[in-house]
Chains A and B, each alone.
Chain A
Amino acid sequence: MTVNDSPLLELRGVRAAYHGITVLHGVDLTVAAGQVVALLGPNGAGKTTVLKAAAGLHPPSAGQLLMGGRDVTGIRPGRLARAGVCLIPEGRGVFPNLSVRDNLLMMTFCGRGREEIEETAYDRFPVLAARRTQQAGTLSGGEQQMLALARGLVTDPAVLLLDELSMGLAPLVVAELYELVAEIARQGVAVLVVEQFAAAVLKIADHAAVLVRGRIQWQGHPDSSLQAELSSYYLGSPT
């Protein structure tokens, strides 16, 4: 599929605050269908808050959230999820006390049937098929992340939001997972990836944005100049 020009997900001047302290000071960001956008930035820049705002978990205090041109600001996460927004949260986005099969069953709320979901997931991740009755919390970190990411694959989302996919995983596993992310994007899904360790995600990203202290400081094509400049953003003294 080709990259569509009209944005599927759009944040317009989004501001967000925790307990009266503003952490996002007007973020503008667009992700087109089939595009992978990497959102980079140092600790505490507000990257996760951007994702939470986009998934409806943390409603913005000002600004707009648009999906396919429609205003979806303030809609509850459950409804957004059924409308095609899929957030894989930081850590492991699985239910640790549910079996692999029950975890997959929890993906049926977005419209697709149980058999279809199991078939797609087991097809893509044979290791999950072998562990279908095992509790998800007892899987290895990589397997848990596969199960989490399977939701982005099997529920046919319009928008996929990924938070720190690489956390605590071996580099090889991370490369494999990002391979899958690229595959999902090729199906026409708008993908927004938050990552502290830029190298892995920049290999597949079409576009990158750097968030520093709640503001987008730079955005554009992720070429080699960005990699060189990134460290100065992280160290907090961009020239």
Chain B
Amino acid sequence: MDQFLAFTVVGLSTAAIYAVIGSGLVLTHTTAGVFNFAHGAAGMLAAFAYWQLAVGWGWPVPAALAVVLLVLAPAFGLLAERVLMRPVQALGEAERLVMTVALLTGCIALARWVWDPNTPRPLAAFLAGEPALRLGPAVVTWHQAITMATALAIAGGLWFLLHRTRAGTEMRASVDDRALAGLTGADPLRAGRLAWVLGIQLAAVGGILIAPTVALDAQQLSLLIVSAYTAAVFGRLRSLPLTFLGAVVVGLLEAYLAGYLPQNDYLPGLRLAAPALLLLLALLAFPHRRLPGRDRTLVRVPLPGRRGGLVLAGCVLAVALVLVSVLTEDEVISYGTLFPIGVIALSYVPLAGYAGQISLCQLSIAGIGAVVWGHLGAHGALWALPVAVLVAAAVGALVALPALRLSGIYLALGTVAFATVLDRWIFTLPAFHVLGVRISLFDQGSVSVAGPDLFGLRLTSPTDLVLFSAFCLAVTSLGLAALRRGRFGRRLVALRDSEAAYATLGGRLLAAKVAVFALSAGIAGLGGALYGMQLQTVTADQFSLVAGLPVFLIAVVGGLGSVGTGLFTGLAYVVPVQLLDGLGGWAQNLPALLVALAGLGFAHSPAGVIARLRAQWTPLGRDRQLLTALLGVLALCWAVAVLVPAGGRPALAAALVVAMVLRNRAAARAAAPADVPPEWWGVRRPWRPEDGEVLSRATAAAS
């Protein structure tokens, strides 16, 4: 009984922290209209900042608390509101989600950069020296008591703020109808700022309270948020009392599992994964609705032409040929991962780009493809590759079943929960048997992965493998372009534009969603297998949720609707890391930070970078003379890079400069004045900003 009480006290104090963090999530969701994936990361940064002040610099605890909670956290909230959310205010839910995912990635990278992850940073509990409180048979430490009291105070304060004050009503009204709030004389901007400041402060309180009970680790602290997500989903992201109830359920569940779960090889992971499992269940069990009163601006999905697809495939192969001919074998190994990463990124194209379903677990599914190939294809048997793809596709179809009930952020949350369950439990399992079949994943360590045997031709050298995965990337890109042009592609875009309209026109939602999830998971599985072949050994860490976020972000920045996203993501993911590698240790976290910044820059180009690049380079592609010149220069640079030792980087730089010059030249030529009649403006020549005014003047004069 005493033991049970002890577990209950531990569970309730954890629950209090989850409640604080979860209520911050609910607050920003109901008052700023944003589900903040970076909420936990903000708490993590606050915990680190508090450690720095209180322990690192030895400030007194109250001073450190005051600075973190009253200065740093509000400043962070204001900054997030100004830089992140205001630019995407008018865009859709998905765009706002991308911004917070970028913020999450950026916070983790920043924390690792500033605070070396290899140094332990113990943080003392509050009033650790005082004797514990005895409430009858239960023993409560001061830290636990403070935590619970804080949670209760916050619960009361928030309820009062939201339902009994004008500021709270102003915040809720601004989410309901921003324009109308302005018309009543309220200030929606002020309301948004207040919502962010309060939300981040709550995250900071949670982060500081939880840090002493767990290790001060950037990733772990940021992902504690999964438990708070569960609490918030219990409250359907709206109700504070239900969020508190959810927090109590999660906290107690974790504590009792820790206490009573039998010790063996299979179950410890279950305890860690329990909040994520509960999150999945809660997502499925409770009905959800979108926040009302929001405009959705859908980005157009480009329609790739046959020629464009072939040019893209040619580019992929050309990049691969240049890499293997120019680089040393070591460099080929590190640069070569760009093609498998590209394939994994392509898996977002049909799913998120065409069908509008957001999934954050593609890299985890790629991990399944990698281990299946690693085990079955250990001797290179080619049949194992389709099997790996099929197993990954089956897992994808499994994810699709809940997806039928979920959309938008709820689907994204569901995939986060799925990836977390894989990370914390499934991927850590030792080999086990199901119906006599031995199932083995990462074997609690690493799995070595062999190259495939192409009808007697064994691909073992890095060069062979790079060419093979480039070929796969080219074929997948072509296939997805064909898919977009075809019937299934049109159906997926229709489904994205309006599920209701799709269903009323006789489309079958379940079939389409399961098919697209399976297809995309199959592509991810192929990418995972190829990634494994390049790396030669794989570990579960390489396929974790957090590792997958940068891939997602770069694919979004590139443009999820374009098939060029594969090549773009591969290049943007791998090349900066390799180029910065030479700069020494301090630059290690720079690429992750760059990815986050690129994600934040996404607001300025929601259609994607690829669409812009395409518009910039099309004139050059149509200009035969200049195109020939460009190809000649590129061939020359290639020859220099191959023949002259250490000539690679200068040749690359020269090629880039020449290409830019020719591009501008071609653009200037194409824009040369031609007498185009007004009805062909925008068709035979690009639409210019001043055209609108010219036309409306002309029509006004005529009428």
B166 adjacent to chain A (CB < 8 Å): yes
Q: Check if B172 sits within 8 Å of A102, measured CB to CB.
A: yes
In the complex, are the beta carbons of B696 and A95 less than 8 A apart?
A: no
Given A20-B696, A22-B700, A96-B176, are A105 and B169 neighbors across the interface (CB < 8 Å)?
Answer: yes
Cβ contact of A107, chosen from B175, B176, B184, cutoff 8 A: B184
B217 within 8 A of A: no
With CB as the reference atom, state the residue of chain A lying closest to B163.
A102
A contact face: mostly helix, strand, loop, or mixed: mixed
Contact of A17 among B172, B184, B186, B696 (CB under 8 A): B696
A13 within 8 A of B: no
The verdict on A110 contacting B169 (CB below 8 Å), with A20-B689, A21-B696, A96-B292 known, is no
CA distance A98 to B177 in the complex (A): 10
**For residues 85 through 126 of chain A, which have their beta carbon under 8 Å from a beta carbon of chain B?**
86-87, 89, 93-98, 102, 105-110
**Cβ-based interface call for A57 (8 A):** yes
Beta-carbon nearest neighbor of A81 in chain B: B185
User: Do residues A78 and B177 form an inter-chain contact, with CB atoms below 8 A?
Assistant: no
**Smallest CB-CB separation from A17: which chain B residue?**
B696
- For residues 673 through 703 of chain B, which have their beta carbon under 8 Å from a beta carbon of chain A? 689, 691-693, 695-697, 700, 703
Q: How large is the interface on A (under 10, 10 to 19, 20 to 34, 35 or more residues)?
A: 20 to 34
Q: Given A20-B692, A21-B696, A106-B170, check contact A57 B183 (CB 8 Å).
A: yes
Q: Is the CB of B176 within 8 A of A87?
A: no
Q: Is B510 positioned at the interface, with any CB of A under 8 Å from its CB? A: no
**Complex CA–CA separation, A76 to B182 (angstroms):** 9
Choose from B184, B292, B692, B700 the contact partner of A106 (Cβ within 8 Å): B184
Q: How far is the CB of A181 from chain B (nearest CB, A)?
A: 17
A95 x B176 contact (CB < 8 A): yes
A25 to B693, CA, bound (A): 12
A89 touches B184 (CB 8 A): no
Contacts of A20 in B (CB 8 A): 689, 691-693, 696
* Interface residue? A77 (CB, 8 A): yes
- Closest residue of A by beta carbon distance from B172: A98
Q: Is the pair B185, A96 in contact by a Cβ cutoff of 8 Å? A: no
Shortest Cβ gap from A109 to chain B (Å): 3
Q: Taking the complex as formed, is B293 at the interface, i.e. its CB lies under 8 A from any CB of chain A?
A: yes
Q: Quick one: which of B176-198 are within 8 Å of A by CB?
A: 176-177, 179-187
Residue A213 at the chain B interface, CB threshold 8 Å = yes
Q: Which residues of A contact B696 (CB under 8 A)?
A: 17, 20-22
Q: Which residues of B contact A106 (CB under 8 A)?
A: 169-170, 173, 181, 184, 186
* Chain B 63-91: CB-based contact to A (< 8 A → 1; otherwise 0): 00000000000000000000000000000
Which interface residue of B172, B179, B184, B703 has the most chain A CB atoms within 10 A?
B184
Q: How close is B211's CB to chain A, nearest CB, in angstroms?
A: 36
Q: Do the beta carbons of B184 and A110 come within 8 Å of each other?
A: yes
**A159 at interface (Cβ–Cβ under 8 A)?**
no
Closest Cβ of chain A: how far from B233's Cβ, in Å?
A: 19
User: Contact partner of B176 among A25, A55, A57, A98, CB < 8 A?
Assistant: A98
A151 within 8 A of B: yes
**Cβ-defined contact, B173 with A109, below 8 A:** no
Residue of B nearest to A20 (CB): B692
Q: Which of B466-520 contact A (CB under 8 A)?
A: none
Do the beta carbons of B170 and A81 come within 8 Å of each other?
Answer: no
CA A131 – CA B438 in complex, angstroms?
Answer: 64
Rounded to whole Å, the gap between the CB of A14 and the closest CB of chain B is: 15
Chain B residues in 8 Å Cβ range of A89: 179-180, 183
Which chain A residues lie closer than 8 Å to B182 at the CB level?
57, 76-78, 81
**Min CB gap B207→A, angstroms:** 30
Q: Which chain B positions have C-beta within 8 A of A17?
A: 692, 696
The CB with the most chain B CB atoms within 10 A, among A76, A77, A94, is that of: A77
Which residues of the partner chain B approach A110 to less than 8 Å between Cβ atoms?
A: 184-185
A-B contact list, 12 entries, CB within 8 Å: A19-B692, A21-B696, A22-B693, A57-B179, A77-B183, A98-B172, A98-B173, A106-B170, A106-B181, A106-B186, A108-B166, A109-B185
- Besides A89-B180, A108-B166, 4 more A-B contacts (Cβ < 8 Å) are A20-B692, A81-B184, A98-B172, A213-B703
Give 4 nearest A-B pairs by CB, closest first: A20-B692, A109-B185, A81-B185, A95-B176
